[in-house]
Amino acid sequence: MDIRGIAAIQNYTAARPATEPAEGQGVGLGDTLKSAAADFAETLRHSEQLAQSAMTGDADPHALVQALAQTELAVETAVTVRNKVVEAYQEILRMPV
């Protein structure tokens, strides 16, 4: 092995820690999905409370319409994500073994 090879190995070894994630940093897919599900549930809960308040006459109709629009967007997003996951799963099943 020549000097250039040894220098390359040493440079790689020195640079490797810079490319690794730091301990305790970064958010995994599970954390992201958990957060998205919590936000989705909170949006639905808020809209339901506003709808109940609107039925008793305690809520502003404009706020109710906004909450329902946010809920509709959240449900459409959840359905789109679900469809993409199912599509990816079906694509994996079609792969030859």
Residue 75's pLDDT is 93
pLDDT digits (tens, 9 = 90+) for 6-30: 776 777 777 766 666 566 666 787 8
pLDDT above 60: residue 1: no
Q: Is pLDDT larger for residue 97 or for residue 24? A: 97
52: part of which helix (H) or strand (E)?
Answer: helix 29-56
Please tell me the pTM assigned to this model. 0.62
Instruction: In whole angstroms, give the CA distance from residue 57 to residue 38.
Output: 28
Q: Choose between 32 and 80: higher pLDDT.
A: 80
Token duo for residue 16: 């490797």
Question: Mind listing the pLDDT tens digit for each residue in 38-90?
Answer: 999 999 999 999 999 988 888 888 888 999 999 999 999 999 999 999 999 99
Inter-residue contact 43 to 74 (CB < 8 Å): yes
Q: Is the dihedral of CA 36, 38, 41, 42 positive or negative?
A: negative
Question: In the 8-state DSSP scheme, what is residue 95?
Answer: S
